[in-house]
Amino acid sequence: ATSFNDAIVAARSLNAYTIETPDAALVAADAADAARASGDLKPLSGIPLGIKDLFATEGVDSTSGSNILRGFKPPYESTVSGKLKAAGAGMLGKLNMDEFAMGSSNETSAYGPVISPWKRNDGGNAALTPGGSSGGSAAAVSAGLAPGVTGTDTGGSIRQPAAFTGISGIKPTYGRCSRWGIVAFASSLDQAGPMARTVRDCAILLENMTGFDPKDATSLDLPVPQWEAGLSSDLKGKKVGIPKEYRIDGVPDEINAIWDRGIEWLKDAGAEVVPISLPHTKYALPTYYIIAPAEASSNLARYDGVRYGLRETPEGGNLDAMYSATREAGFGAEVKRRIMIGTYVLSAGFYDAYFNKAQKVRTLIKRDFRDAFRQCDLILTPTAPSAAFGLNEKMSDPLAMYLNDVFAVPASLAGLPAMSVPGGLDGQGLPLGLHLIGNELDEQGVLNAGLAIE
């Protein structure tokens, strides 16, 4: 009994869940037993899943990792989590995350950081971040606290934490998963997706998360492909592009070595590997860090102390005083930084120089990919320019934190499907991810190449 309790204490010390809902998981397990007895099992009958805290879950706290939404229990369910539940899944709880999904280390959460279950093999015991913003999701799967979870990816938040924790995660084509009921960060970039231990599990979960939703104006009106049935690690006839612009200075040799190994694995699976160029890659990170904060500053205007969550009413203050006291108390430092960047780049005097320019560069980045996919079917790169870093290592240096997204954001800006799969361990024994980018709607190609690597 002691060791069981110890295991629970150890599991909770990762801080992966913001709230646990074991009863919901048990109800689904009982329903699965009944379904098995009556012969109508559903695709996910009884499977317990963790749900990232920015999915609205009916009657259960949904706070997007923010104090401004603390205690908010939505009276409705997000389309994606609703689909998983309709497929028979149960909810284990809500998963910790960077506040409003802004971050790459899960350290901006109002609930405190998530600790990665991984440690460096240097004999030390230094706590590492699981990456972010889906850090609770990644840690939960990696530590065996959920067989599968939902994440969201605006600029890498599924892929980078998957890479840091040695699991798989896929962001589908923009529009595949409904954004309805997902707390908005940057609406033109936000996409939900699954994270799990295997590529097959990702395919199964993705099938049960996607589909047209009239409640999301950007939802794609397309049938859901049978990705699991379509899985094949035979890549004969496929061309994999290797973009030379992703060989950037300062990336550890070990990451390039894993990339080279990934190239060999794809060749072994029958693929032909071709060099490609994505010439505007170096502008992707600054473009993302203009567009994402701009959209965020607009989306976050709704947290005004009137409609949701926190309300601060200073003595004798008017409505404006309530707005600012609420936002001052409710938002963390990174969220405030994003609001300031966003309102600045959208302001009348700077709109053309920043936001408008960034939109134009985004089009060029999309064109790079369109041109590249005339020469190849898939693109292989590393997922992140480093392995998991230590807690507090980058929190005082936002630019260093942003740089960690350098390989992830181009596919986000282009709305393309992209996946991280485990590529191997570095010299410290930490996982490194390989990153597959597919053409629009080609999740199958991405999953199949992921399977070949896995």
Residues near ligand GLN, by CB under 6 A: 101-104, 133, 153-157, 185, 292, 405
Q: Residue 319 corresponds to which tokens in the numbers above?
A: 């409505």
Q: Closest distance between ligand GLN and the C-beta of residue 375, in Å?
A: 28
| Closer CB to ligand GLN, 174 or 323, in the complex | 174
Q: Closest distance between ligand GLN and the C-beta of residue 394, in Å?
A: 11
Say if CB 170 and CB 73 are below 8 A apart: no
| Closer CB to ligand GLN, 171 or 327, in the complex | 171
Q: Closest distance between ligand GLN and the C-beta of residue 10, in Å?
A: 28
Residue nearest to ligand GLN (CB): 157
Residue of 52, 83, 85, 394 marked catalytic: 52
Question: Measuring CA to CA, which residue among 244, 79, 69 is closest to residue 152?
Answer: 79
Q: Closest distance between ligand GLN and the C-beta of residue 332, in Å?
A: 13
Burial of 406 from C-beta contacts in 10 A (0-12 / 13-18 / 19+) = buried
| Closer CB to ligand GLN, 277 or 298, in the complex | 298
| Closer CB to ligand GLN, 157 or 448, in the complex | 157
| Closer CB to ligand GLN, 103 or 130, in the complex | 103
Q: In angstroms, rounded to a whole number, what is the distance separating the alpha carbons of residues 126 and 57?
A: 34
Q: Which residue has the tokens 């960060």?
A: 185
| Closer CB to ligand GLN, 32 or 56, in the complex | 56
Q: Which residue has the tokens 């950081």?
A: 113
Q: Closest distance between ligand GLN and the C-beta of residue 236, in Å?
A: 34
Q: In angstroms, rounded to a whole number, what is the distance separating the alpha carbons of residues 338 and 342?
A: 6
The rounded Cα 100 to chain-centroid distance in angstroms is 12
| Closer CB to ligand GLN, 326 or 404, in the complex | 404
Residue of 64, 66, 78, 133 marked catalytic: 133
Q: Closest distance between ligand GLN and the C-beta of residue 191, in Å?
A: 9
52 catalytic per annotation: yes
Q: Residue 144 corresponds to which tokens in the numbers above?
A: 């065996």
Q: Tell me phi and psi for residue 107, to 5 degrees.
A: -95, -5
| Closer CB to ligand GLN, 108 or 233, in the complex | 108
Q: In angstroms, rounded to a whole number, what is the distance separating the alpha carbons of residues 37 and 451?
A: 33
Q: Closest distance between ligand GLN and the C-beta of residue 120, in Å?
A: 22
Residue of 157, 168, 297, 386 marked catalytic: 157
104 catalytic per annotation: no
133 catalytic per annotation: yes
Q: In angstroms, rounded to a whole number, what is the distance separating the alpha carbons of residues 26 and 48?
A: 9
Query: Angle at the Cα of 269 (from 267 to 274), degrees rounded to 5?
Result: 30
Q: Closest distance between ligand GLN and the C-beta of residue 395, in Å?
A: 13
Say if CB 418 and CB 431 are below 8 A apart: no
Q: Could you give the residue numbers annotated as active site?
A: 52, 133, 157
